[in-house]
Chain A
């Protein structure tokens, strides 16, 4: 380091130290609730309500988790959520990719109008369609069935929008050439467009999966029996039942977030980039 650069170097050092101080304390605030969830889930009832609060249980009560699984069909809840989220995500990708291709690469009368209508749908808040959809589901005889939990969410305008953007960046020549070679639209979509649009597919997948896994209001309204409850609804009910047994509520909460946290830690880069892409609507 040249002497002339010393003040600058020092300043940079101070700046970094300050950044670390701020970021680290911010991190504590962001992560503490999760830490507290885990710690509480491992305490006994009296220990959970002890003052001063213990930062780590004297003896981890793993039995709490067993108790949660005994008190409510937690495994069933988790399987429900997983099944619903997987089907919704897969179906959304299929329906959206086909629609996006039609909007991006096929000429047909009324295309712009139809796409505009689709986009306008994004402006409708969920609260507005909650009641009519509930009645519709009732009339279809789907109340308290998996169909009610899955079917309405198997298409997404946002996904169509995102995939269309992505398909439009693929040169038209590629499409023309495939068609000349006798390739069908579906074949082109599967073998050419989708592989080139992998980043957007990941975004659509993550957003659909998280949306489905974390939803509460809709499943709360259309399900009636524990067998059908996804984990968020089961968790919300269990908290009420558990009352002051916060250690059990915490254990249930911990179980409910474990799959997502594991998925997130394993595929972090995809999550972050995928979610970032939702913000770049040019």
Chain B
């Protein structure tokens, strides 16, 4: 399984083979060199063709499309006009704020919860295997199926969630929360009873978006827990033992030994989860289609609606390019913030 050697995380098959520094190959004879180049070309060909055609060159094609007025067919070159339009597009800005709320709402919360669960599951505990199996279930199953049942649970009238909340006395039976149907911001709703009315920008994410976010957290936990457990497994026990012998209590061991040693894993999860959250589509498509009143229309939903529903291909491509740059900027920012904080052994 996962093991470590020479203080470095070596992912695969390391127990099968001793890892040693790469030696330069045997002396190359001209003939062998040519033969090798041919062999390499032949073996790379299928993957290279597919990746170039469908994953790499399309980036430049997307740029090209975004510089055109392009509906069902290409019409004309318009330069950066789509991008200028984008800068003034209120709907795009709104979708960006929806996406950011979703990212900020899901990523840290899911990582914190998963870390707590992983720490509990890592130590020997009766029934650990069963817990693991069940926690990972949402990650394995499709988001579409899960989103269907979540929207049923969120149903204001017949949903089990409101039934429980009303029974517990958390909300009134006369005006239960509308969840996926509620376009008003949660800050506004919280202050509603006090008779306050907040300006639009301060109303916060809609309750519908919060509901989608909760489902997003639920869905992300399984993957995070698996990765955290693997990360915990790669920390040498001796370090924690040494800290305990030195008199550190459990919290101190966690704070000063486990957490720093786990930081590469945590960092990896932040990067991956952020990218995934920026791309969230499936659950939103099923649960709200971007509604109510566009308050759950993320940038990905917006691209979909512009491109697929309104057939504004050129404009959709421009939005996608903008999203790419935003994700890139966020990733770089995270690397910046992490620099010096992530401890690699």
Contacts and interface: CB of A to CB of B under 8 A. Distances in A.
Interface string B119-151: 011010111000111111111111111101110
Given A22-B120, A253-B148, A280-B11, A132 B160 contact: no
B47 A95 contact: yes
A121 B133 contact: no
A135 B231 CA distance: 41
- Determine the interface band of chain A, counting residues with CB < 8 A from chain B: 35 or more
Given A52-B163, A108-B37, A127 B135 contact: no
Nearest to A38: B149
B281 A216 contact: yes
B136 A271 contact: yes
Interface stretch (B48-56, B83-91, B101-109, B187-195): B48-56
Contact of A235 (B43, B59, B145): B145
B320 A155 contact: no
Interface in A70-99: 94-96, 98-99
B44 interface: yes
B134 A128 contact: no
**A interface majority secondary structure:** helix
B9 A132 contact: no
A276 interface: yes
Given A34-B141, A109-B37, A235-B145, 11 more contacts: A16-B125, A27-B131, A36-B149, A36-B152, A102-B40, A107-B36, A127-B324, A152-B54, A155-B55, A199-B1, A232-B282
Interface of B: 1-2, 8-14, 16-20, 22-23, 25-26, 28, 33, 36-37, 39-41, 43-44, 46-48, 50-51, 53-56, 58-59, 61-62, 65, 113, 116-117, 120-121, 123, 125-127, 131-146, 148-150, 152-153, 155, 157-158, 160, 163, 218, 221-223, 226-227, 229-231, 234, 265, 268-269, 272, 275, 278-279, 281-282, 285-286, 299-300, 303-304, 307-308, 313, 316-317, 320-321, 323-324, 327-328, 331
Interface of A: 16, 19-20, 22-23, 26-27, 29-31, 33-34, 36-37, 40, 48-53, 94-96, 98-99, 101-103, 106-109, 111, 114, 117-118, 120-121, 123-136, 151-152, 154-155, 157, 160, 162, 165-166, 168-172, 176, 185-186, 196-200, 210, 213-214, 216-217, 220-221, 231-232, 235-236, 239, 246, 249-250, 252-254, 256-257, 260-261, 264-265, 268, 271-273, 275-282
The 4 closest A-B pairs by CB, nearest first: A279-B227, A276-B230, A132-B58, A166-B12
24 contacts: A34-B149, A37-B149, A99-B47, A102-B44, A106-B40, A108-B40, A111-B40, A114-B44, A127-B299, A132-B317, A166-B13, A196-B13, A199-B12, A220-B285, A236-B286, A250-B152, A253-B146, A261-B137, A264-B140, A264-B141, A271-B140, A275-B226, A279-B226, A279-B268
